Amino acid sequence: MAEELIIPKTDSREDIYKSILPQIQALTAGETDLIANLANITAALMEAFRFLWVGFYIVKEDELVLGPFQGPVACTRISKGKGVCGTAWEKAETILVPDVEEFPGHIACSSASRSEIVVPVIKNGKVIMVLDVDSEKVNNFSGIDQKYLEEICLGVGN
C-alpha cells in the first residue's frame, strides 16, 4: 500500500480512530520488524491527533527503555512502579491520568504535559512494552482513547 494515512475531516475522535485503525493494521501487517512497526504506529497517532507526545517504552531487564516516539525528547529509562508508565507496567493495566498533577510520582518529561494515558502491551501474560500518549490539555483522554489504543496494542508484536 501507499504509505499515506487518510484522516477523515471530523471532530469525532472515535471516527478518526475507526478510520485509522485498519490503516495501521494494514501498514504493520506486512512488516515483521518490530521497531519499524512501532515507529509507524507512533507517527500515525501523531499525524491523526497531534498529541504532545506519543511513544513506546520497551521492557528491557528491570527497566522501561525509550523506544520509537514522536514529540519532544523524553527521559530514556523508567523503573518498574515509577511514574505512570512504570505503574502501568507493574499493574499490567491501562492507566488514564486526567490531570498529571494529581498523579503521585508522575514523571514530567515535558512540563507542557497535562494529561496522559499509558497502555501496556501484553504477550504471553507479560508486559513487554507500554504505549504512552501525552497531551498538553487537562482531561484530554477518555474511554474512547482507551478502547482504541488497547486495540492497537493488541496487534503489536504479532
Q: What is the DSSP string of 58-85?
A: EEETTEEEEEEEESS---SEEETTSHHH
Task: Rank residues 21 and 128 by Cβ distance to ligand SME and give the closer one.
Answer: 128
Task: Rank residues 27 and 141 by Cβ distance to ligand SME and give the closer one.
Answer: 141
Residues in the chain: 158
85 sits near ligand SME (criterion: CB under 6 A):
yes
Closest by Cα among 53, 39, 45, 47 to 21: 45
> d(Cα 29, Cα 37) in Å, to the nearest integer?
9
Residue from 68, 106, 122, 135 touching ligand SME (CB under 6 A): that is 106
> d(Cα 88, Cα 85) in Å, to the nearest integer?
5
Instruction: Report CA-CA distances (Å) from 88 to 5, 55, 84, 91, 93.
Output: 29, 14, 6, 5, 5
134 sits near ligand SME (criterion: CB under 6 A):
yes
Q: Which stretch binds ligand SME (CB under 6 A): 20-28, 31-39, 104-112, 140-148?
A: 104-112
For ligand SME, what does the binding mask look like between residues 34 and 73, x meaning CB under 6 A? Answer: -------------------x--------------------
Which residues form the interface with ligand SME (CB under 6 A)?
53, 74-75, 78, 83-85, 106-107, 109, 113, 116, 132, 134
